[in-house]
Structure 1
Amino acid sequence: MVIYLPTATILVVTLLGEDTIIEYIRRAKMLIGLKELILISLTFGQAISRSTDYCYAENDQPYLKFGTKTAYTFIHGAKRPAQNIPGCKPLQIWMLTRPGTLYPDAETISKLKALPKLRDQITYNHDTLGYGHLCDLDLENLRIWRIDSAMTMEKAENLVPQGTEDLVLLARRLKTHLPELFPPTVSDVSERNYKFRSTAGEKTSSSLKAFMSGLFDQWQMPPTEAPMNNTQFASHLTCPEWRDEVSNNPEAMIEVTRFKSSPEYQNLLTNVSRRLGFRNNITEASLNAMYDMCRYEKAWTLDAISAWCAVFSLEELKILEYRDDLTEYYKYGYGNKVNLRMGCSLLQDMFRQFKKLESGDNASEPKGVFSVVELGTLELFIAAMRFAEDSTPLLASNYQSMSKRLWRTSEIGSFAANIQAVFYRCDVPEDPNKVIFYMGEKPVPYTGCKVGLCDWDDLKSRFAKTLSDCESNFCNANSAFSSLVVPTVLLWLGLPALALSSH
C-alpha cells in the first residue's frame, strides 16, 4: 500500500488491517498538516474509500417500530372495512386514547439539546481522524441536520401538528366505520349523546379537542381546560402499593437492567460507537439521545428521513425496541402482579356503561364515551383486560425467542394508541348482546370470542371477580369515578366545570 503526499514524500505502510492504516493516515495528517491524503492501491490502481456498514438514506423500507414513540400512521389498522355485522346494531362505543404525537418532556428536550455537539464530534471523527463507518449520504445528512427550533421547553409534551392530525383522522375513520353512532347533523349532538373526558394536562386536553373536531368538524370550539383530578384515570399514581412495589422499587426493573448487561445490548453499544468513529463506547445517555431524536423526528414528519436513524442498524433498532417493551411490561404490564389491579377502575367504568344497555332501553344512554389518558393508564387497562398477553414472560434472556411477542409497545403503545369497545344488539333472542374490541383499529383476537364478537354475558362472567374486587380496591376504595371526571363537553360549550354523575 502506498500513500502519495503532495510533498513527493512516499510513506509505505504494511497492510496490517483497516484500523492500522487509518491510524497511520491520522498521524500523517497531523504531522504534515494536510487536509486530504490520496490512498492508491498498487494492486488494483483504485482509490480506497472509507468502509461503511450500510447506507440508511438509501433504504426504501426502513424499520419504523420505535416502541412508545412510534408514529400511529405506521401501525394502525385503518384499512379494516366499515362495520357491518349481519343482524347486529351498534348501540355505544367506549374508547380510551393516548395523546397524539408530542414534543418530548422537558428532561428529554434538555438532553436532545446536546446533540449538535455530539454531531460535530461524529463528523470530526470521520472527516479529520478518518474513523467511523457512516456512508457519505448518511454523514452528509448528519452534517446538515439542525435541531427543530420549535422544540423549546415551553413546548414540552405539547401536541405537534402531526399529533393533531393523528386524532382528527382517527375520529373521521371512526365516523366512517360506525355511521349509526354519529349523527349526520350537529343538531343531534348533545351532552346526553356523547361524553368526552381527559386527564389534566395540555397534551391530553389538546388531543381531546383534536379528536372532537374530527368527529364534529362543523362545530366551533372555544378554548377548554382539562379537569385537574387524575385520580381515577391514573389511580396507580395515588396507590401506595404500586409506588412501593413498582415505581420506587429498583428490583421491579431488574430484567431491564439485566438486558442492558446482555451480549446483545453491549454489542450494540460497541458497534454504534465504532460506526460513529469513537474508540471507546459512548455513554448510555448519548445512545438514548440519538435514539430519541431518531424516533421523534420520524413521528413528527412521516415522509422525511431522520439523520439520527442512520446511527443504528436494523437489528439494533429491534434491540432498543425490546428494551422499551421490557420497561413498559414491568412498569405497567404483566411483569408485576400489582399492575393487573391498577386498571380496575376503568374496567369497571366500561362495564357500568355497557350494563345500562343490556335491557334494550338505550334511548337515554350516550352513543359514545371517549377518554384521552396517559400511556401508562392505557397499558394498565390492556393488562386488566388480558389483551396482548404472552404465554411466556418477557425476560432479559429471551429476546431472540420473543420476536413474535404480543406485548409490543410499537403496536399497543404508539402515539395515539387506542382501545375501542363497541356494544351491539343482535337478532339473537337467547343472547342478543355482543361486544367487539379493537386495539389501534384492529380487531382483538380475544379468547372465547367468535371472530372478535364476544358474548356480553360471557364477558360479565369472566370479569365478575375482578369487578367485585373493584368495590374494595386497595388503592381507591372510597373514590367514585363520577366525581373525578369533568365533562369536557360542558367546558367545550363554555359552561363551568361541574361534577358529572356516574351516568
Structure 2
Amino acid sequence: MSRLVLVLVLFSVVIVRGSVCSECYWNSKCSYELFATATPYDNIRGDLRDHAQDNDCKVISLWSLHRHGNRNPGVDVTRDVKELQHKIKLLLDVPDNRRSNNCYQDMDDLMKWRWNTTLENSTSYLTGVGYEELYQLGRRILMRYHDFVKSVDNAYFRATNSQRTEVSLAAYVRGLSDGDDTLNFTTAIDAPLQRDDVIRPYETCARYQDEVKNGQKVTEELAAYDTSAEFLAIRDRVQAKMFVDYKISSREVFTLYELCRFERSWDPKLRSPWCSFFTDQDLVVLEYRDDIRHYYRNGYGSQINLDLGAQAMKNLYETFVAASKSEQTTMVSYFTHDTMLEMVYCALGLFRDREPLKGSTRKANRLWRSTEFTAFASNFIAVLYRCSKSDEEELRVQFLINEKPTALCPEDGCAWQQFLNTFQVFSTAKLDFCGTNESGASHLSGRSDMKMNLASSLMILVMITSIL
C-alpha cells in the first residue's frame, strides 16, 4: 500500500510540474527572466525604501553612478536582427515550413509579429521602458531620503554624451522632484563633456582600446564559447525548430537570442514569441556568453579595467571627504554605461571569482554575473551620514548596488575610518598609463551656479517628448 501511495505522489508531482512548465513557450508559467545586460531593472533590483532608518543619523552627502535604462539595440544588432527575422518570416509564408518542432500557438504568434521600423532610426536610444526605470528610481530616492533631497545645498548631475544617458538623467531628475515645483534640479544638470575622464575614461584610453576592447583575448574566449558542447547543443536544438535547409551559424543563434531578450523587455507581459526557440536551460547558457564578453572587455580579464574604474572612485572619495568637512549637503549623480560600472566594481574587488572565467566551460556558481550588477538602469549608490550617538558625532557610509546592501559594508554602513582605509588608495589615481593626457574633468558645484547649456536643454526636451 505504501508503495502505491508513493507512486501516486510521484505521478502527481510530474503532472503538476508538466502543467506549470510545458514545452510550449506561450503558456509556460516559469520562463527564465535573466538576460545578462539586457535584463529589465525590476527583475533584479531591491528597494532602498525597505532599509531600516536610524533616527540618530542624518544624510549629508549622496553620490551615485547609474547605467542608462532600457534601450534599443545598437546598429550592428539591429541590422542582424532585421535580416534574420525577415528571413524567418519569409519562410513562414510557406505553409509547409510551419510544420516545425515549435508549438502551433508559438508559430501563430510568430506569424502575427511585425518588425518595428522605428528601430532603424533610433538605434541605442532610450525606450519608454527605460525612461520609467529611471523615473521610478528617482521617486524612490526622494521617498527614502526625503528631508535630504528637499533641502540639499549643492547638487551636480552629469551624463555621458549619448542620448540614452542624457534622457535617463532627465527621467531621474524628474523623479527626484516628483511634481514638487519647489524642487527644480534641472539647473544642476551639467552638459556632457566631449571627453569625460570620470565616467567614460575608457573612450580616450589608447591602451584600453588597443589591448582590451580590440584585443585578442575577448575574441579568443568568445570563440571558445561558440565551440563549447553546451552552445553547440543549443544550436542543434534551434536548428530543429527552424525551417531552414542550411546549417545555422553561431552568430544567427545569438542574433535570435538578441531579438528574444530585447523584444520581451518591451512587452508589458515580458513575453516574446522569438524566445520560443529556446528552452529555459538554453537561456541560462546564452546568458553566460555576455558574462564572458564583459569579463574580458570590462572586468577582471585585464588590469587596465581595474585602473580605469579607479577614476570614478577617486571622485566619490573626494566628494565625501569634502562633505565631511563642510556644513553644506551635497548630491552628485553620474549617468554612464555598463562598461564603467563593471570597471568600478573591479576596482573595488567585488564579484571576483577565484579562477578566471573561461569561454570553453560555463561556471554555474560564478560571482561575475552581469545580470545582477549591470542590468538596465543598474546603479551604485553611496550615502554619507553624520550620526549623533552618546553625545558624540560620527560619520558612517552606506553602499547599495541596485538598491541592495553590498559586501563592502554591513547594511547599516561602515565607520568613516573603514571608508578611508578602502577608498584613500583611489586619491592618487591617474590615467598616465593610457598614453593620453588627463583632462581633469571633475566637478562639484552648487545648484544655483550650475547651468545646462541651451542646446542640451532643447535636445533633452525633444527626446523626452518623443518617448512620452
Shorter-chain TM-score bucket reads 0.7 to 0.9
Gaps of 5+ in 1: 1-52, 498-503
Q: 2: distance between equivalents of 1:442 and 1:177?
A: 13
* 2:23 alignment partner, one of 37, 54, 59: 54
- The normalised TM-score by structure 2 is 0.83
Aligned to 1:44: none
CA shift for structure 1 position 491: 4.3
Which structure 2 residues correspond to residues 378-417 of structure 1 after superposition, within 5 A?
378-399=341-362, 402-417=363-378
Q: 2: distance between equivalents of 1:64 and 1:302?
A: 14
Q: 1: distance between equivalents of 2:334 and 2:55?
A: 29
Q: 2: distance between equivalents of 1:283 and 1:421?
A: 44
**1:424/1:433 contact within 8 Å kept:** yes
- The normalised TM-score by structure 1 is 0.78
Percent pairwise identity: 26
Q: Counterpart amino acid of 1:362?
A: E
Pair 1:80–1:260, CA change in 2 (3 A)? farther
Q: Deviations over 1:139-174 (max 9, x none)?
A: 111111111243232x11111111110110011011
Aligned to 1:31: none
Gaps of 5+ in 2: 1-21, 458-468
* Greater shift in the superposed pair: 410-419 or 424-433: 424-433
Aligned to 2:394: 432
Aligned to 2:6: none
* 2:147 alignment partner, one of 180, 198, 205: 180
Kindly indicate whether residue 108 of structure 2 is the aligned counterpart of residue 140 of structure 1. yes
* Greater shift in the superposed pair: 484-493 or 55-64: 484-493
CA shift for structure 1 position 474: 4.7
Kindly indicate whether residue 430 of structure 2 is the aligned counterpart of residue 459 of structure 1. no
Q: 2: distance between equivalents of 1:355 and 1:163?
A: 33
Q: Counterpart amino acid of 2:125?
A: N
Q: Counterpart amino acid of 1:100?
A: G
Aligned to 1:250: 216
Aligned to 1:281: 247
Aligned to 1:37: none
Aligned residues: 430
Which structure 2 residues correspond to residues 69-218 of structure 1 after superposition, within 5 A?
69-78=38-47, 81-85=50-54, 87-120=56-89, 123=92, 127-129=95-97, 132-153=100-121, 155-183=122-150, 192-218=153-179
Aligned to 1:320: 286
Q: 1: distance between equivalents of 2:103 and 2:73?
A: 29
* 2:201 alignment partner, one of 235, 244, 269: 235
Kindly indicate whether residue 342 of structure 2 is the aligned counterpart of residue 374 of structure 1. no
Larger relative contact order (CA 8 Å, sep ≥ 6): 2
Q: 2: distance between equivalents of 1:249 and 1:483?
A: 33
**1:242/1:338 contact within 8 Å kept:** yes
Q: 2: distance between equivalents of 1:231 and 1:478?
A: 7
Aligned to 1:30: none
* Greater shift in the superposed pair: 411-420 or 450-459: 450-459
CA shift for structure 1 position 393: 2.3
Tell me the secondary structure at the aligned position of residue 61 of structure 2.
strand
Q: Deviations over 1:157-210 (max 9, x none)?
A: 111111110110011011112223211xxxx57xx5211111111111111111
Aligned to 2:466: none
**1:444/1:452 contact within 8 Å kept:** no
CA shift for structure 1 position 416: 0.7
Q: 1: distance between equivalents of 2:431 and 2:394?
A: 28
Pair 1:470–1:137, CA change in 2 (3 A)? same
Pair 1:61–1:479, CA change in 2 (3 A)? same
Pairwise CA RMSD of aligned residues?
3.0
Pair 1:489–1:148, CA change in 2 (3 A)? farther
Q: Deviations over 1:43-78 (max 9, x none)?
A: xxxxxxxxxx92011111211111111111111112
Q: 2: distance between equivalents of 1:227 and 1:485?
A: 16
Bigger Rg, which one = 1
Q: 1: distance between equivalents of 2:108 and 2:136?
A: 35
Aligned to 2:461: none
The structure with the greater share of residues assigned to helix is: 2
Pair 1:352–1:225, CA change in 2 (3 A)? closer
CA shift for structure 1 position 440: 0.9
Q: Deviations over 1:255-314 (max 9, x none)?
A: 222111111111111111112244543123322221111111122224142110111111
**1:92/1:423 contact within 8 Å kept:** yes
Q: 2: distance between equivalents of 1:193 and 1:495?
A: 23
Q: Deviations over 1:470-493 (max 9, x none)?
A: 386655663313379999994458
Aligned to 1:293: 259
